[in-house]
Structure 1
Amino acid sequence: MKKIFSALFLMCFFSQLNAQTIPDKKARATEKETLEPQDTIGAVQQQDTIEVIQKNNKSLKSTKDSKDKKANIKDYLIISHANDTTYVDTTLTIQKEYKFNYLRRDNFGLIPFSNLGQTYNSLTYSFQSTSLMPSFGARARHFNYMEIEDINYYHVPTPLTELFFKTAFEQGQLADSFFTVNTSPQFNFSIAYKGLRSLGKYQNILTSTGNFRFTTNYRTKNNRYNIRMHVVTQDLLNNENGGLKDDPSVENFETGAEEFLDRSILEVNFENAENILKGKRFHLEHTYKIIKKKDSLSKNKLSLGHVLSFEDKYYEYTQSGATFFGEAFKNSIKDRATLENFYNQVQLNYSNNIIGDLQFNITNNNYNYGYDKLVVLNGSTIVNRLKGDIFSAGGKYHKQYKGFDLEGELGLNVSGDFDGNFIKGKASFKLNDDISAIASVNHSSKAPNYNTLLYQSDYINYNWQNNFNNTKTEQIAFQLKYKKLANISADYSTISDYVYFKKDETSNQVQAFQNNNTINYLRVKLNNEIKVGKFALNNTILYQNVKDKDSTLNVPEFTVRNTLYFSSHLFKKAMFLQTGVTFNYFTKYYMNAYNPLLAEFYVQTEREYGEFPRLDFFINAKVRQTRIYLKAEHFNSSFTGYDFYSAPNNPYRDFTVRFGIVWNFFL
């Protein structure tokens, strides 16, 4: 409850700020598939971030000089990790409806577990990668873990506050409070906290999570030196119950017997376990212009950049009695894996009107992953740490040429215990404001996640040290956007030496394996919207095809989302209303199962899941800068059959009604 009280305190404090009237001109919603976490984000501006800030510095100064002059909504800038500049968007659109959830981004392709803050099962996968290092592992706990790429920076003419609130399941709430201010045209800071506590409908699935973010950015008056930094601390705790018991709870759930509609009386596999993922990160980026751009005709720019990042995180599983996962060294289980990673990169950036933008970089990764004890199993000692230094070199390229926007990036580990390399190229062409096309290629070779290479547990069968080959992927992708008709994207990937989890035939417990055959994976996605008067039909259809004779990568063939909705102004345009019904559906497939000890999903080929519809009815409204959301989730659950699962033995949500708001203040 401390997290919720902290969030509510921030809400009460910032709610004292007076709201400012913002011009009615609507900000166009972003069409990027990977949406930034803040709900305030609007259209992507295809301008250099520095140039946009220079222009808005003048607006910021004039706003302070004249009390009568009000800032324009487009002056409230949001800058992504990749330096894409967007602006605050307080409109009410169907995309906002899709993002009004725990992750605060469109979660198409994911299906949540029954309680808010639990994990999500993936219905689709992307194998495009520019990483040279293994990931930590415990991937099921990382959906709400904010990475470097998820943190935004800000530039605002007046203080900006955003308050997010949504009801949870049973006891608890979800709240996200955000505040940012420019103390001068050159200096900005922001502070935010998202807190959740939710008891859930089933036994022992309480969730308690917190994400604290602090960012700051500064540039000198002559724009020669600029720096940005963020500090993030996160703790994501889940009680775990291992899912419903096969007998009799699964049968009792699926029959829909009235006495078992109270989900708390269904028996679960255990009630004495929890896992937690905690992390803290300090990240710093700064650049100095050796040759400063004097005017728009300048041909040469040269700058030196430096990126420094330190992250300390751990995943811990505790259980008061050793059950369900086989024999154990001791009765009380406490497994903890830690990772300390220090990232240090030096960049040399050169720009020329003819050549384009070039970057050369050298990077050092100092990593220390593992456990505090040695394990001796069958006479062999399993090491407890993987640590060392990786030195890598890379580069980036960007050029606009005759209507084409060309980008390239590559990286290579040159020394250290982990081999790795990647190369990525992208070309985009914009015919006009309505029609654009993007083509990209990506090759990647990287070591599997740390927890597949080394894992230690008080459970005997969950101890291993593997020497897997690098996972290698090649992907080609294409996207065509026609604003008035459709957005079509397609990608084709080949994956070699794919690493996955499944149950071992001998121990019947989950372990890591490597597929030595090649997997071919095709995805085609269509998104369009049809409008007739005040009615609209928004459609998203995903087709997937996998060629994998070992059945290690399983996805549904079709995943569909359709929303029929009505939009209109009411009460002399004092309110804007949207109401409609959303239909979600995916075809049957061998859905991955969930292992709470590892916090990983694993392959199962015993039973197919899917082909259950999910219908949500919503009524959303906007009054000035406040968006109000009311939704009846899965209202068809009682009459379309109790066969809805997020993972084997883990049911999806029953019918429930939830309420929430997003409220912006402009001082």
Structure 2
Amino acid sequence: MKKYFLFFFVFLCFSVFSQNDDIDNKGLVIGKEIKPSIDLYKIYTLQKDTTFVDTSLTINSEYKYNFLRKDIFGLMPFSNEGQTYNTLDYGLKNKSIMPMIGFSGKHFNYLEAKDIKYYSVPTPLTDLYFKTVMEQGQSLDAFLTINTKPNLNFSIAYKGLRSLGKYVNFLSSSGNFRFTSSYFTKDKRYILNAHFTGQDISNQENGGIINTSDFESGDDNFKERDRLEVYFEDATSLLKGNRFFVDHSFKLNKLNPNSLVFTHRFSQEYKFFEFTQSVANTRFGSSFSNRINNKTRYNNLYNKLGIAYKTKSYGDLEFFIEDNNYNYYYNSVVYDSFGNISVPNSISEKVNMIGGNYTYFANKLIAKLSVSQAISDQGISNIEANAKYKLNDDYEFEFNYQKLNSLPNLNYTLYQSSYVDYNWFNNFKTEKLNQFTFSANTKWINLSAQYKVLNDHLFFDNTTNNIATLIVKPVQYDKTINYFSVKANKEIKFWKFALDNTILYQAVDQVDDVVNVPQLTTRNTLYFSEYVFKKAMFLQTGVTFQYFTEYYTNDYNPLIGEFYVQNETKIGGFPMFDFFINARVRQTRIFLKAEHFNSAWTGNNFYSAPNYPYQDFIVRFGLVWNFFK
């Protein structure tokens, strides 16, 4: 299979090199055939942000060329594509006011409603992503969108992955199907965005290697990583979900710019998380049965009705009411020694909220205030304030404040398992968050700062303090945690060379070690850019250095699909170097990378989490190919 992919790659290079049409700075051919402007290929979000299809090759293209297809600075991937990520940047963690199913370690590749994009294109647009994986498989993301009419768009996409990995029982297999549609009437009184997603994320779970000394020794016998003994050789996890989503609005008066607008948002989603093991393992303690099959199910029905008054001079004012029904359940109950039910089989609740938004538009300022409050018994609320000021193309500033009182994720409250110690039913308080963020994007430097105050913070903790025995339970911390971070980014250019630098500083003030973060995280890329082959190809090549300081990182528990706090083993303090050669020919971007090429000569101390080694040196290649028909 690899030979066929290599042949295809070489054939593609020669075929696209033979094209010598002029290329504009946005990546569209302007020589033999006139094509619509790239600005007409629009991408929308639910937040009404608009971007355009980008076929250029920049350093950001290199950063986004990965399985998640976004810049993953602050995330530490595991050794196999499609496995989970450890979070280095705590600022990436976002809380939702509503309780989610949980199992957050398995949701990095799960597309939520806010992640789905909608399109408007003058001609059919195709986007093909391909990348080789660690062993026996491939990663492919195929996307097609078309406007059958100027006001009606459809898109269909599927992202599939299979990668065996280098370690025993660590295969990844996933599929993300999504279908979207956008419609508006010619007078734009009625606007509709809808989507359907079907997603499954399956991982073999080995629990990490047992003897880290074998891995760190550098012994030739263990350079074949499948010789390293792992905790589990028969465990598998599966996250699966389907969602149908509609967001639409109707403007009452088509002629008057100051008009009432009625809005409605609907979502229906079903998910389940399943952990199976053919033979129970004593690492999780004693069990009720020899075969493990834990399955958690979740149904959610959500409706939001709103009425907004939009004006040109005074901004937009909206009032809304939300109805959120969820059912989180198992097919059994757990009894205590007296015959009473100690762990029920379900949580079924309805959360009703009211709220309002006010958005003000000035010449260079956009300000928004959002307030929501539960009118049912849950006692949750959210206040958000945002202001964005754009002085000119060189200077832009943004400030955000959030005060959140949220319900715990449902797997903190209720969980059932065939393992005795993994059964609980809790009545935790709501989590409290006060958060301030500030960002400044200037021609000199891009700077962002974040300050969080956490109260009644929930986390998972290993009660045994022993990595060989995992009895992990949810815990609510009764003291205040203060978190602060500053991130700076600056690209320095000289002739055809550039040095792109991103550095993150984090600090936590807490009585106990609950929120653990690396103090410094950095990524630095030195690269060279040039047109070659009579400007038929744009070439970039360089080296990326990544590093984070040693700290007590969270470890991963595959049984519950969550990371837990541990303060026994530190990881970090090792360099990661990648060498890349990227090229763009017309609308095709070609990527070739030697990942972690220093692994053989800087010591075998590289881990993504305790007992989970980071990937060894590997050469991977692939492409992103856009068609404008």
Q: TM-score, normalised by structure 2?
A: 0.94
Pairing 1:23-422 to 2, within 5 Å after superposition: 24-26=24-26, 70-126=35-91, 131-245=96-210, 249-294=211-256, 298=257, 300-323=258-281, 324-379=283-338, 380-381=340-341, 382-401=343-362, 403-416=364-377, 418-422=378-382
Residues 122 and 378 (structure 1 numbering): CA distance in 2 closer, same or farther, change over 3 Å?
farther
Deviations along 1:110-139, one digit per CA (max 9) or x if unpaired, are 000011000000001237857321121110
Moved more, 497-506 or 126-135: 126-135
Asked if 1:451 is matched to 2:416, the reply is no
Residue 481 of structure 1 corresponds to which residue in structure 2? 441
Residues 459 and 79 (structure 1 numbering): CA distance in 2 closer, same or farther, change over 3 Å?
same
Asked if 1:472 is matched to 2:432, the reply is yes
1:353 shift after superposition:
2.7
Moved more, 209-218 or 75-84: 75-84
1:401 shift after superposition:
2.9
Residue 544 of structure 1 corresponds to which residue in structure 2? 506
1:208 shift after superposition:
0.5
Residues in 2 aligned to 1:95 and 1:378: alpha-carbon distance in whole angstroms: 59
Residues in 2 aligned to 1:363 and 1:377: alpha-carbon distance in whole angstroms: 38
* Contact preservation (8 Å) 2:264, 2:306: yes
Residue 554 of structure 2 corresponds to which residue in structure 1? 592
Q: Which amino acid aligns with 2:356?
A: G
* Contact preservation (8 Å) 1:176, 1:193: yes
Q: Which amino acid aligns with 2:206?
A: N
Residues 241 and 128 (structure 1 numbering): CA distance in 2 closer, same or farther, change over 3 Å?
closer
Aligned equivalent of 2:421, options 461, 485, 491: 461
Consecutive unaligned residues in structure 2, runs of 5 or more: 2-7, 13-18
Residues 211 and 275 (structure 1 numbering): CA distance in 2 closer, same or farther, change over 3 Å?
same
Aligned Cα root-mean-square deviation (Å): 2.1
Residue 16 of structure 2 corresponds to which residue in structure 1? none
Residues in 2 aligned to 1:546 and 1:600: alpha-carbon distance in whole angstroms: 22
Residue 555 of structure 1 corresponds to which residue in structure 2? 517
Residues 440 and 455 (structure 1 numbering): CA distance in 2 closer, same or farther, change over 3 Å?
same
Residue 52 of structure 1 corresponds to which residue in structure 2? none
Residues 528 and 647 (structure 1 numbering): CA distance in 2 closer, same or farther, change over 3 Å?
same
* Contact preservation (8 Å) 2:106, 2:561: yes
Asked if 1:627 is matched to 2:585, the reply is no
Residues 20 and 378 (structure 1 numbering): CA distance in 2 closer, same or farther, change over 3 Å?
farther
Residues in 2 aligned to 1:252 and 1:521: alpha-carbon distance in whole angstroms: 37
Consecutive unaligned residues in structure 1, runs of 5 or more: 2-7, 13-18, 28-39, 41-66
* 2:90 counterpart SS class: coil
* 2:544 counterpart SS class: strand
Deviations along 1:543-595, one digit per CA (max 9) or x if unpaired, are 00001111110000000000000000001110000000000000000011110
Q: Which amino acid aligns with 1:290?
A: L
Residues in 1 aligned to 2:154 and 2:20: alpha-carbon distance in whole angstroms: 20
Deviations along 1:333-381, one digit per CA (max 9) or x if unpaired, are 0001111000011110111233211111111001000211001134341
Deviations along 1:278-311, one digit per CA (max 9) or x if unpaired, are 00000001111102245xxx4x121101111000
* 1:252 counterpart SS class: helix
* Contact preservation (8 Å) 2:518, 2:550: yes
* 2:188 counterpart SS class: coil
* Contact preservation (8 Å) 1:73, 1:88: yes
Q: Which amino acid aligns with 1:455?
A: Y
Deviations along 1:593-619, one digit per CA (max 9) or x if unpaired, are 110000100011012111000000000
Deviations along 1:183-217, one digit per CA (max 9) or x if unpaired, are 01011000000000000000000110000000001
Residues in 2 aligned to 1:540 and 1:293: alpha-carbon distance in whole angstroms: 49
Residue 4 of structure 2 corresponds to which residue in structure 1? none
* Contact preservation (8 Å) 2:235, 2:278: yes
* Contact preservation (8 Å) 1:317, 1:335: yes
Residue 395 of structure 2 corresponds to which residue in structure 1? 435
Residues in 2 aligned to 1:427 and 1:273: alpha-carbon distance in whole angstroms: 48
1:68 shift after superposition:
7.4
Residues in 1 aligned to 2:154 and 2:321: alpha-carbon distance in whole angstroms: 29
Residues in 1 aligned to 2:79 and 2:221: alpha-carbon distance in whole angstroms: 19
* Contact preservation (8 Å) 1:576, 1:621: yes
Deviations along 1:400-430, one digit per CA (max 9) or x if unpaired, are 23532111112111114x3311111011111
Residues 508 and 334 (structure 1 numbering): CA distance in 2 closer, same or farther, change over 3 Å?
closer
Residues in 2 aligned to 1:20 and 1:365: alpha-carbon distance in whole angstroms: 56
* Contact preservation (8 Å) 2:385, 2:400: yes
Asked if 1:519 is matched to 2:481, the reply is yes
* Contact preservation (8 Å) 2:457, 2:476: yes
Moved more, 552-561 or 429-438: 429-438
Residues in 2 aligned to 1:129 and 1:150: alpha-carbon distance in whole angstroms: 14
1:388 shift after superposition:
1.9
Deviations along 1:480-531, one digit per CA (max 9) or x if unpaired, are 110x221000011100010001112498511100100000000100001000
* 1:277 counterpart SS class: strand
Residues in 2 aligned to 1:68 and 1:654: alpha-carbon distance in whole angstroms: 46
* Contact preservation (8 Å) 2:447, 2:487: yes
* Contact preservation (8 Å) 1:496, 1:516: yes
Residues 561 and 138 (structure 1 numbering): CA distance in 2 closer, same or farther, change over 3 Å?
same
1:637 shift after superposition:
0.3
Q: Which amino acid aligns with 2:280?
A: A
Residue 583 of structure 1 corresponds to which residue in structure 2? 545
* 2:286 counterpart SS class: coil
Residues 348 and 236 (structure 1 numbering): CA distance in 2 closer, same or farther, change over 3 Å?
same
Residue 47 of structure 1 corresponds to which residue in structure 2? none
Deviations along 1:68-118, one digit per CA (max 9) or x if unpaired, are 753111110111121111111100000010000010000000000011000
Residues 168 and 130 (structure 1 numbering): CA distance in 2 closer, same or farther, change over 3 Å?
closer
What percentage of residue pairs aligned between the two structures are identical? Answer: 50
Residues in 2 aligned to 1:556 and 1:22: alpha-carbon distance in whole angstroms: 47
Residues in 2 aligned to 1:176 and 1:72: alpha-carbon distance in whole angstroms: 25
* Contact preservation (8 Å) 1:110, 1:122: yes
* Contact preservation (8 Å) 2:570, 2:610: no
* Contact preservation (8 Å) 1:20, 1:665: no
Aligned equivalent of 2:575, options 613, 618, 623: 613
* Contact preservation (8 Å) 1:129, 1:444: no
Q: Which amino acid aligns with 1:317?
A: F
* Contact preservation (8 Å) 1:22, 1:72: no
Residues in 2 aligned to 1:283 and 1:569: alpha-carbon distance in whole angstroms: 45
Residues in 1 aligned to 2:64 and 2:95: alpha-carbon distance in whole angstroms: 26
Q: Which amino acid aligns with 1:392?
A: M
* Contact preservation (8 Å) 1:23, 1:73: no
